[in-house]
Amino acid sequence: MALHGIFIDCYPLANEIIVWLWVDGKMQRFADTFYPKVYAHCDLILNLQQALASFRINSILKRKKLFTGESIQVLEISVYDVSSLRKLIRDIEREKEYDVDLFNADIPVEQYYLFEKDLFPFCEVEFYHENGNVLAIKNVDKDGWEYNIPPLKLLELDITTEEPLEKGFLTEIKKISIGGVSIGGSEKEILSEFRKKFLDIDPDIVLTHHGNVVLPYLKGRLRYHGLDLNFSRTDPDEFSYRGGKSYFSYGRVLYKDYPVFLRGRLHLDRDAFLYSEAGLYGVVELARTCRMPVQRIGMRSPGSGISNLQCYQAFKENYLIPYKKSLVEKFKTALQLFEADRGGIIYEPITGFHEHAAELDFSSMYPSIMVNHNISPETVLCDCCPSAGKSHYTRGETEVRTTMMAGDGHFADAKCHTGHPGGVVPRCACAIVVA
């Protein structure tokens, strides 16, 4: 008999995907099998297939679509051991001396699972299982905009230390607060009482301030006093303080600690941008819309969520998703750069005095324009339309009209004459515009 529940979270463990569902008023753990597929394209592709076969790695020759609509021959490689995925990618690159194009190779395994099963956080699911092993799972969420969040148990955690943690983890704890209630005493007494309360509450969501630093610190102090506490629910914790990284954003250099994810519970940092701006419901809403695990989107920016939504849409439409999308582009000739450039064009106004002039400000309306006019890298100046790139320029006495056409109304009529329903970017933006 089919059971019904709400999908909460998932993560890879050993050679399985662990799935947490809200069933019968509580969080329950299930295990599912999942074999992600990686695609490789290179010269002498049969030689690569033979090299993989010598390591007992099976692959199949297939034709798949690129983002541009071009179809290429690739090797489809099913990964039967998700823990060895990164090693497999490195081995393929070394075998071809890095002269190989890889696809679908750097999608986090849990997100790949969501793409493949067409799931998203807090969606209603129908599933079958046997002894905790998922036999089938299906998204039955009929209305993406109206949904209920189950009554998850929250634990708000704050700590006070003698010295700031930026100076190191050797400083002692002076106070721990749970939901605004303080625990005092010696450090060992504080930690013992905290451990007891944590286990009694058995939270589904752990809210912290700077939790990517605090949780590893707490773990270390508990060990120092001979106390054992697994912050995850059933599976062992797999986190430690790994530092962070600096990155450049809008003219500023920022620093971000590497995230700490819990298993069987959700960890959200109240100081992270998304939670501080939108709260728990905002994080859940973006996780659902962008089809990204709650903990991961909670530590990232909205832009990362939109990028993931684009990957989902591309996956759904059977496009290949490039590996290492953030790398610098390959060298292009002047002609290739001209054909590939999707930059905007600024038209200089006509010199002189004009009456009855008006200004149209399209700030924050770009998603609507993309949806209404089907603007996407693969639909503007595309290769599939023979008349792509033609422009019409008309100059009257007081106005200039310019129309960019990519095929037979491909740009202006939001339709592709080849029969494609629309670009990847407009389809993604549509979910946001409609919301």
User: What are the pLDDT digits (tens) for 390-428?
Assistant: 443 333 333 333 333 333 433 333 344 444 556 777 878
CATH number of the domain within which 62 lies: 3.30.70
**Would residue 145 count as lying in a domain?**
no
CA–CA distance, 61 with 44 (Å, rounded to integer): 12
Q: Are 292 and 305 in contact (CB under 8 A)?
A: yes
Question: What mean pLDDT value characterizes the chain?
Answer: 83
pTM comes to 0.81
User: What are the pLDDT digits (tens) for 82-112?
Assistant: 888 888 999 898 888 888 999 999 899 999 9
**Total number of domains constituting the chain:** 3
What confidence score (pLDDT) does residue 240 get?
84
**Would residue 120 count as lying in a domain?**
no
Do 83 and 213 lie in one domain? The reply is no
What confidence score (pLDDT) does residue 250 get?
67
* Rounded mean pLDDT, 289-297: 94
Cβ count near 77 (within 10 Å): 24
Do 96 and 177 lie in one domain? The reply is no
Q: Are 153 and 201 in contact (CB under 8 A)?
A: yes
* Rounded mean pLDDT, 111-122: 95
Q: Which residues lie below 8 Å from residue 1, measured CB to CB, with a gap of 6+?
A: none
Which among 259, 253, 250, 254 is positioned nearest to 208, based on CA atoms? 259
Domain end: 106, 139, 164, which one?
A: 106
Which domain, by its residues, includes 55? Answer: 37-106
3-class SS at 40? Answer: strand
Q: Sort 291 into a burial class: Cβ within 10 Å, 0-12 / 13-18 / 19+.
A: buried
What confidence score (pLDDT) does residue 397 get?
38
Q: Are 200 and 179 in contact (CB under 8 A)?
A: no
* Structure tokens, 70: 């071009």
Q: Is the pLDDT of residue 122 over 80?
A: yes
What confidence score (pLDDT) does residue 209 get?
93
What confidence score (pLDDT) does residue 31 get?
96
* Rounded mean pLDDT, 181-200: 94
Least confident of 241-245, 261-265, 273-277: 241-245
Do 346 and 397 lie in one domain? The reply is yes
**Letter for the amino acid at 48?**
L
What confidence score (pLDDT) does residue 344 get?
58
